[in-house]
Structure 1
């Protein structure tokens, strides 16, 4: 079989979204649109692909939402499962199944994994101190407790993890804990849980990731995240929780305990594939993918899910494979994306900042959104969705470049060639160059998608449309139709066949529009490797053209922008009084010495002249400044901050700096050199 006809068996998953809120645009850019583009492309290639997703319906975020609304968790999951399923369908997601983790087959699958590990003695029961709310008469899951991080001082840290600095710690280390249910101070009470020995798998996981990276080229952001976890050393991780809502622990002495959501949610990919097998009346279908060593498994996620899909889930599969003959495959690649922000700020459901998918699709068709997001995916760093950019992409690229070329070509075909594909006559160099360009484009675009460079692939798609417009203009059919109609016929034939290829290569990104184009051409899709061939026979009748993209007027976008200030109310508890601000002592300081902190690529140790002496400050600016260029600079610092230790080095203040558009890059706040060290800001 030739290489271009070789078929792959491909299993693709997208992270299971929590069913406690609506899907927003940021979710689409992370785990869903890139996967859908990849899957659609692989199907066009003729590969054997299944695409799996579904709702994550257990865990504390669900119960918190239910508590707030004073309803059962089932009410919440039923509502948001259906809403998000509708949103994905309207957006054009091509899942083979959109399942849910509350169904019996998922509970059974999760319990089978737990029992396998328990029966083999892999899980270790440990007693530990957990927060307990006497007033609510319940143990408090991590998200039900809020307090001050013992590492960085973040006052909104969870009981076991700080989302701000990423530190993990024991609940007993959390300062000023408060129950989010009653507002009372919880007590520490002994309970017992079963733990998965993640540390036992560290060496194998490091080898696995290294091998996959060498063979298939993992993204650097994913590798760096994994290395950070390995550097700290993997530790035992609890797989049970004291909670009513979730998959029950399948042991007699485990009443009131469920399997921790981090353990069971990833198994939703397997249970969803089992459900798909049942629906298709193919009992072994799921095994043909999950337990077939020839399968290529790609897991699309956002960066907040990296650890679960590169470390925890592979470790669970390794453990299963150690004890069973029916062995699971591990992810071949985990192309995680960074975050998409909304108008330069993070999407926030609680603050109403952003726009959810259903709301968006009530105003605009899906393809312009798909194209805009795909052209600006946060593949290597966080990116932003701006209303003005959405308008510009729709009007300036989809309408003026792609849509305009198609409209001009069809107009000529109907006006001068009876709505039929005209014949090709003598070819000139300009024609041969265009034919050769079109011929090679599907392979060019496909190679980028294969390497998960979706944004680059989208750029190339539109580049072909630009080249097609240039060919049309340079060929001047409005002149040749009067002077040499045979010459004009050749131009329009090449343009129509180029439209066919454009419809093919754009299909993964704008599938609804591509279908319209194929309908206008009265043609069927071809396998991807044939897309660049000229398939439209002379004399073939075309269908009446339609406007593919409607331009968006300024007033429509301005109306959306005007809503932004209304949509982000500032909470009273986020405001500080003038008395609070007066407590902050901002002072001038001059850098005397600077050096890198060993074993850290972010930190610098600075010695500062503060007027009344010298002070040592550790600052996370190493990716923005070298030690040498800081010597002699006048900075503004917070001078009355309590000392803290970073990498074991005491820091006696904080440098003021601004974030920038570049990831991990900051701009320090410099002040005039005439200001003496120690002077205070007024």
Structure 2
């Protein structure tokens, strides 16, 4: 087995278009955190990187829905997501963002190197175009019926119901997510990566060299490779994203699945000056934690990119989880059928470890699994409270009551086989837990930790020190037996803190506080030791590690889920229902012909358009009037992309006094009309006329 000197662990970059829910946690963030905490306890050289993916189409769709800019969206949700992870104890070494300058530069340089090496195919192809919005549609802007499961809200790149990867051409009845119009095909130029050229290497890398990968990962990759790979576009038509670093690429950005995984590299650059040690040295183990919907991108496309670029290591393992359902239904953010992490923190303050425990013990490691609030309650009350919490609390209470609040000595002359069996059990469990963690079987590892607590409860019940101390006379007679029992139980409690730390870090800290030990006791090398707490040392008063979840709390959470579903359905219905016709605007005062005659209206052609910096609604237009070029600032940026209106004819109020807007002198005003949906449309001649023609 290959030996590694350092580890680089990544968790999938969440889209910054909404908060994170418990399905996200169970999918990759909790498993990756458990693994990293274990590696740190082993004193391994490990970096744990993540950040928000801020260039995906979901960002721009969310911005349109909320009538704000994409930057507003990513700023808002980056903060919410980062706080949610921190609150749950997800211990990233860095939580970056793909909007950071270091990422833009890293991704652009990565693309340019591949381009300079001749690794892209430049192709002109027909792609879907929204004639109403006058924009090319990225895959996620296209919605239709999934040919696999019949979901009528599948995206052009993937069906979120069944997880099937799609192309827009495969959708049944495709429509634009922006206008609901049927898109048309229009020619555009892009740069493609010929993935088929990397098939032989990928087959060796995945199918031959990594048969140890989880069955769901290995199987999905093998299926893709068996079916044959094709060239895939690595650029898109858009104004939001990392601009393609080529002179003839106006209006083109990097494909989000080219851009996003490079975010792992740029985040590592931000984290440490020695970033290349983690990305370029063969004795580094790169592990990607993801959900099953990202398998192809992390196991085929990104490794092919790294191989093509050269100089980088490729993932050694990609332990992807399946999906977590909620109360028997698939999570749906659009229907608000989700348990949001930031809401959980508000409703269950200081109970982060309860959720961590439940999500790990029911983790969808091999198949989709279900989260229910009743199971949440049962696991808390019957496992955390009644097993782990019960053992630690009884040990601490009895130690204070029967041993004066100090760690009792171990008396060799009354020591027996049951005492020795605890030490043997701890050694065995240490190996079982470590083996499960190192093979990404976190549910099994957590179950073995809880078995340690069960053994502690069994041992304590067998010894019954409270019976040995039923009267003062009995206690005096049996004090050495009592001391031995509670000494073993205290050492076992300390071991539980070491074992539980990767899974329930807040609970491990509570145990350390009660035992008055420092954090270094949680190092993995200490697991299995019977000398973790010192004889004669005074310990703090016991405190409950967990508290019961009551029926009323469960009822409230289930009602909250269904209330959110109803609110979402009502909002969607309202959006789909045509609004009542707005009352006509009041008529303006009557004018005379001479007033109208003062206007000089001319037909012009837009020859150039660009966004005005720091102005979401403004475009700077250059308009050809035949004998001159006019600069006009117009508030149409929310309705038209700059590149979509080049060549459009407009009607210009040519003798309007100049006016400065955002420091730009606007030399006229174009006439626009507003349709029933509030969209601005051009008022222009019904057929092309020469620029500068009069309008009367």
TM-score normalised per structure 1: 0.79
1:528 to 524, 530, 533: 524
Shift of 1:176: 3.5
Q: CA deviation at 1:370?
A: 0.4
Counterpart CA distance in 2 for 1:192 and 1:500 is 63
Q: Name which of 380, 383, 389 aligns with 1:394.
A: 380
Task: Single out whichever of 434-443 and 329-338 deviates more from structure 2.
Answer: 434-443
Decide which of 294, 303, 307 is 1:318's aligned counterpart. 307
Where does residue 259 of structure 1 map in the other structure?
A: 254
Q: Which has the larger radius of gyration?
A: 2
Quote the residue 1:501 is aligned against.
Answer: 495
* Mapping 1:447-526, distance limit 5 Å: 447-481=435-469, 482=475, 483-524=477-518, 525-526=520-521
Q: What SS class does the counterpart of residue 355 from structure 1 fall into? A: coil
Report the Cα offset of residue 414 of structure 1. 1.0
Q: Is the 8 A contact 1:298 1:333 kept in 2?
A: yes
Q: Which piece of structure 1 moves more, 349-358 or 163-172?
A: 163-172
Q: Is the 8 A contact 1:29 1:377 kept in 2?
A: yes
Residue 158 (structure 1) shift: 3.8
Compute the displacement of 1:571 (Å): 4.7
Displacement of 1:187 in angstroms is: 2.0
- For 1:491 and 1:473, the matched residues in 2 are separated by 10
3-state secondary structure, aligned to 1:265: helix
- The answer to whether the Cα contact below 8 Å between 1:401 and 1:466 also exists between their aligned partners in 2 is yes
Q: In 1, Cα distance between the equivalents of 2:549 and 2:103?
A: 44
Aligned residues: 558
Q: Does structure 2 retain, via aligned residues, the 8 Å contact 1:136–1:182?
A: yes
Check the 8 A contact 1:7/1:48 in 2, yes or no: no
Q: What residue is the counterpart of 1:634 in the other structure? A: none
Aligned to 1:14: 11
Q: 1:584-595, aligned counterparts within 5 Å?
A: none
The whole-number CA distance in structure 1 between the counterparts of 2:142 and 2:42 is 50
Shift of 1:289: 0.8
Q: 1:350 aligns with which of 329, 334, 351?
A: 334
Structure 1 counterpart of 2:318 = 334
**Paired residue secondary structure (1:130):** strand
Report Cα offsets for 1:97-123 as digits up to 9, x if no partner: 000000111111111111011111110
Cα deviation, 1:344-388, whole Å, max 9, x if unaligned, reads 111111111121001011111201000111111100001111101
Q: Matches of residues 544-555 of structure 1 in structure 2 within 5 Å?
A: 544-555=541-552
1:529 Cα offset (Å): 2.5
Q: Which residue of 2 aligns with 1:433?
A: 421
Match of 2:133 in 1: 136
- TM-superposed CA distance for 1:156, in Å, is 3.5
Q: Any unmatched runs of 5+ in structure 1?
A: 278-282, 322-326, 576-682
- Confirm or deny: 8 A CA contact 2:4 2:285 kept in the other structure: no
Return closer, same or farther for 1:114/1:415 CA change in 2, 3 Å cut-off: same
Matches within 5 A, 1:128-207: 128-148=125-145, 155-159=152-156, 171=168, 175-207=172-204
SS at match of 1:52: strand
SS where residue 282 of structure 2 aligns?
coil
Taking structure 1 as reference, are residues 141 and 226 closer, same or farther at Cα in structure 2, changes over 3 Å only? same
- Between the aligned partners of 2:171 and 2:396, the Cα distance in structure 1 is 68
CA offsets 1:511-530 (integer angstroms, 9 cap, x no match) = 01101101111113333122
Name the counterpart of 2:35: 38
Pairing partner for 1:250 from 234, 245, 249: 245
Unaligned runs of 5+ in 2: 470-474, 574-696
Is the contact made by 2:163 and 2:293 (CA closer than 8 Å) also made in structure 1?
no
1:363 paired residue among 342, 347, 356 = 347
Equivalent in 390, 395, 403 of residue 404 of structure 1: 390
**Which residue pairs with 1:669 in the alignment?**
none
In the TM superposition, what is the alpha-carbon distance from 1:562 to its structure 2 partner? Answer: 2.8
Q: In 1, Cα distance between the equivalents of 2:392 and 2:329?
A: 37
Alpha carbons of structure 1 residues 572 and 489: separation in structure 2 relative to 1, 3 Å = closer
Indicate if the aligned counterparts of 1:35 and 1:300 stay in contact, CA closer than 8 A: yes
Residues 542 and 274 (structure 1), Cα distance of their counterparts in 2 relative to 1, 3 Å cut: same
Q: CA, structure 1 residues 437+273, in 2 after alignment: closer, same or farther (shift >3 Å)?
A: same
Q: Which of 430, 433, 441 is residue 442 of structure 1 equivalent to?
A: 430
Structure 1 residues 190 and 460: alpha-carbon distance in aligned structure 2, compared to 1, 3 A threshold: same
Contact 1:53 1:272 in 2 (8 A): yes
The more displaced of 447-456 and 166-175 is 166-175
415 and 140 in structure 1: CA distance in 2 versus 1, 3 angstrom threshold: same
Provide closer, same or farther for how the CA distance between residues 211 and 296 of structure 1 changes in structure 2, counting only shifts above 3 A: farther
1:522-601 aligned at under 5 Å gives the runs 522-524=516-518, 525-526=520-521, 527-535=523-531, 536-569=533-566, 571=569
Tell me how far 1:234 sits from its aligned partner: 0.7
Calculate the aligned-residue CA RMSD, in Å. Answer: 2.1
Contact 1:212 1:218 in 2 (8 A): no
Alignment deviations for residues 230-269 of structure 1 (CA, whole Å, 9 cap, x no partner): 1211110000000000000001100000000011100000
Give the C-alpha shift of residue 436 in structure 1. 1.5
* C-alpha contact (below 8 Å) 1:172/1:188 kept by paired residues: no
Query: What is the Cα deviation at residue 149 of structure 1?
Result: 5.3
SS of alignment partner, residue 213 of structure 1: coil
Query: Secondary structure in 2 aligned to 1:129?
Result: strand
Tell me the secondary structure at the aligned position of residue 261 of structure 2. coil
Return the alpha-carbon distance in structure 2 between the equivalents of residues 161 and 371 of structure 1: 31
Aligned equivalents of 1:122, 1:467: Cα separation in 2: 60
Contact 2:217 2:320 in 1 (8 A): yes
How much has 1:151 moved relative to structure 2? 7.4
Pair 1:106–1:503, CA change in 2 (3 A): same
Matched, 1:298 2:282: no
- Equivalences for 1:17-28 in 2 at 5 Å? 17-28=14-25
Residue equivalent to 1:416:
402
The answer on whether the counterparts of 1:20 and 1:65 sit within 8 Å (CA) in structure 2 is: yes
The 1:236/1:391 distance shift into structure 2, 3 A limit, reads same
Structure 1 match to 2:217: 222
Instruction: Identify the residue that residue 581 of structure 2 maps to in structure 1.
Output: none
Q: Is the 8 A contact 1:422 1:538 kept in 2?
A: yes
Following superposition, the deviation at residue 427 of structure 1 comes to 1.1
Deviation, 1:162, is: 5.4
d(CA) in 1 for partners of 2:149, 2:78: 36
2:99 aligns to what?
102
SS of structure 1 residue aligned to 2:124: strand
Instruction: Please give the alpha-carbon distance, in whole angstroms, between the structure 1 residues aligned to 2:113 and 2:501.
Output: 44
1:41-60 maps to which residues of 2 (within 5 A)? 41-60=38-57
**Contact persistence 2:498–2:526 (CA under 8 A):** no
Distance 1:427 1:173 in 2: 72
Could you tell me how far apart the structure 2 residues matched to 1:472 and 1:409 are? Answer: 8
User: What is the SS of the residue equivalent to 1:135?
Assistant: coil
Distance 1:351 1:151, change over 3 A: closer
CA contact (8 A) 1:7 1:46 kept: no
- Secondary structure of 2:90's aligned partner: coil
